Amino acid sequence: MKANTKNTKGSSPMKKLIPAAGMLMISATMLATSTFAWFTMNKEVQVTGMEVKAKAEKGLLINEVATSGDTNWDEEAKSTANAGATLIPMSSADMSTWAHANSVAANASAKGTAANTKSDKLSSAGYEIFTLATTAGGNNLSSGKLDFIQATAAAAGTDAEANIYYKEKDGTAAAIGDNDDGAFIKYTYYVKSSSSNAITLNADLTNDGDDTLYVKEIKVSGLDKNTDGDALAHDLDKTLRVAVLPTGGSALTFAPVAGADSSYFIASAYDTSTKAVTSAAASLATGTAGLDLTGTSAVSTWTATTASNTTDGLSLATLPATTSDGAKIDVYIWFEGEDSNCNTDNIYSDLDELTVEIVFGLK
């Protein structure tokens, strides 16, 4: 009896060890899974309440609709993408072709260091290259298309039209945006002259007597500060991009938050095995962004550089007369995946309070 009792006691730790080891394996598996999910889920950002304002300086009128006889032609138009969006990192040079890539490392970016050579932190899937669907509503599920829904309808004096473009994840027709990845938000404004005569424009800011429509200032408010007030609490804000595209013209891309990368490469094709790409250097509009930390939140103001050799005017040929319909200008907002500040460690989910204010000028 004593021998049996002794054997029973001797085997008891082993009996306990076996299920404990099993639990350890399960815990390790869950940890690995949850870590992967953390990287996947957090490489995105909610922008459910971001407000965008567009202002026109003296000599210009702006509106949320094009109609010439509308009574809301004045110095300001605004919009809020109140349907919300979860945006993933994207890149574009022309607002027509878009590229998406994620880094597989939490504290690294997918930024390439040279043309056709990408970061070794790029995920094994390489780049995804997209063009844009031409109609909204979830009926454009073909491969390589970004579909879109209208988040805000145009309402004169209240809201500019806002469309959110998505990378389709579940292939569900008529359900775009349900659980898909947001790519960018596009706002539409209309501008015209306050004069009874149309104005012929050029696209440079040189003081040669010609008129130029340009972006004078972009102000981003609602940024966070560290408790010491010396710097932004996170770097994702620096990856914010604003592009302005007049109908019939080419896009100008702005990096309006201080500390953003001034140059990077944008993919237009990809190779999943070597991670080599056909790419070109980004072209960012000339200007400087300064950070103001004196208020309750940080404010970054991008200001146009108006030196004689600057050619950062908008490529709009004619500014319509006040008696005519306005000229269409689209404003695109996204988070730049090729900015070195775009990495998982910097993801910050509370960007609802951002306000992006764009000031158009006539020089």
In tens digits, what is the pLDDT along the chain, a chain of 363 residues? 444 444 444 445 445 444 444 433 333 333 333 232 223 333 455 555 567 888 888 889 999 999 999 999 999 998 876 556 778 889 999 999 998 877 777 777 777 777 777 777 776 666 788 899 888 876 666 667 898 888 889 999 989 999 999 887 776 666 677 777 889 999 999 999 999 999 999 888 877 767 889 999 999 988 876 555 455 556 778 889 999 999 999 999 999 998 899 888 888 777 666 666 777 888 999 999 998 888 777 899 999 987 777 788 999 999 999 999 999 999 999 989 888 888 766 665 555 568 899 999 888
Residue pair 214/315 in contact by the 8 Å Cβ criterion: no
117 and 145 part of one domain: yes
In this prediction the pTM is 0.83
CA angle (263 as vertex; 92, 94 as ends), nearest 5: 20
- Which residue carries 């002259």 as its tokens? 193
Burial group, residue 136, by CB count within 10 angstroms (0-12, 13-18, 19+): middle
Domain around 246: 46-362
5 and 145 part of one domain: no
Query: In the prediction, which pLDDT does 31 show?
Result: 31
Query: In the prediction, which pLDDT does 74 show?
Result: 92
171 and 34 part of one domain: no
31 and 167 part of one domain: no
232 and 154 part of one domain: yes
* Cα–Cα nearest to 192, from 359, 363, 362: 362
129 and 13 part of one domain: no
* Cα–Cα nearest to 128, from 112, 114, 145: 145
Burial group, residue 231, by CB count within 10 angstroms (0-12, 13-18, 19+): middle
260 and 347 part of one domain: yes
Record the tokens describing residue 116, joined without a space.
């056709």
Total structural domains within the chain = 2
Query: In the prediction, which pLDDT does 45 show?
Result: 54
151 and 24 part of one domain: no
323 and 177 part of one domain: yes
191 and 305 part of one domain: yes
191 and 268 part of one domain: yes
26 and 56 part of one domain: no
Distance between alpha carbon 175 and the CA centroid of its chain, in Å? 22
Query: In the prediction, which pLDDT does 216 show?
Result: 92
